[in-house]
Amino acid sequence: MTDPVVLVVGSLHYDIMVESSTLPRKDETAIGSRWYPKFGGKGGNQAVAAQKGGAVARMCGAVGRDDFGRFLRENLRAGGVDDRFVADVDGARSGMSVAIMDAAGDYAATIVSGANLLISIDTLQDAALWDGVAMLVLQNEVPESVNLAAATQARARGIPTLLNAAPYRPMSPEFCALVDILVVNSVEAEQMGADAVCCLHSAADAARKLAAQFAAVIVTAGAQGLAAWTDTDEVLSIPAQKVKVVSSHGAGDAFIGALANHLARGDGFDSAARAASAAAARHVAGL
């Protein structure tokens, strides 16, 4: 049986990670202990995670013709990701971010999109891009026009679309109608109109409310776990595995990549969500 292809259309960022004992407050200068570069961007991370899980991952995105861009492309290839549809853009710098991580493994980050804002919609019409694709994965770190064009192509080909609506931004009804699976964290769920999420019960309530717009919804609640609501009115509540936290940075992307891989393979929603939760736990534990 041929492994399924997970197509990720999205962002690539050169991440500069800074370690500090605490996250700085407004107007505070905190002293860090070290910094290092890291491959990133939600799109790139999710593609690598899908490939790691056993899918054939294909990336569609854009980088600048700079050192950051070369670093990003090299890391995609090192992760086994098909980068044929990642464009080198003239006159733009690659996307990047600065993330500060504290001693507990929590972090805060700022991104600069750069070339990610220049992904060509024409590329999304290339039949070769969609060859063998079983799942489309999107995020909100690229323009909605790109997401809309990708989801439109996927719907025309009978391919389900998974949207990780992060970071939050208002989305058009036209785009939302093309999304089959929505994944958000507790903050994003609240920003989309759900009540405050503090536990698995409230996460389930949030998923049910958001399911008025989407066929299936997963609301992740950090160390609490996740809750899901499907188009069959089935509620899933999955407690998080208890692990020693090394870093939470990228855990959500590990979850999305694993979820896309298992759904593309035809696994049921419950088993796919549980496998993705386990993958996120391993990531947090540094495994």
Determine which one of 231, 253, 267, 270 is catalytic.
253
Minimum mean pLDDT among 37-46, 147-156, 205-214, 234-243: which range? 234-243
Gap between the Cα atoms of 267 and 280, Å rounded? 18
Res 224: pLDDT? 84
Is 231 a catalytic site residue?
no
pLDDT value at 28 more than 60: yes
Label residue 286 left, alpha or beta by phi (over 0 means left) and psi (-120 to 50 means alpha). left
Is the pLDDT higher at 283 or at 202? Answer: 202
Domains (ranges, CATH) in the chain?
5-12+41-89+120-179+241-284 (3.40.1190.20)
- Whole-angstrom CA distances from 245 to 17, 173, 284 are 17, 38, 5
Percent of the chain with pLDDT strictly greater than 70: 95
pLDDT tens track for 185-218: 999 999 999 999 988 889 999 999 999 899 999 9
Quick one: pLDDT band at residue 243, thresholds 50, 70, 90? low
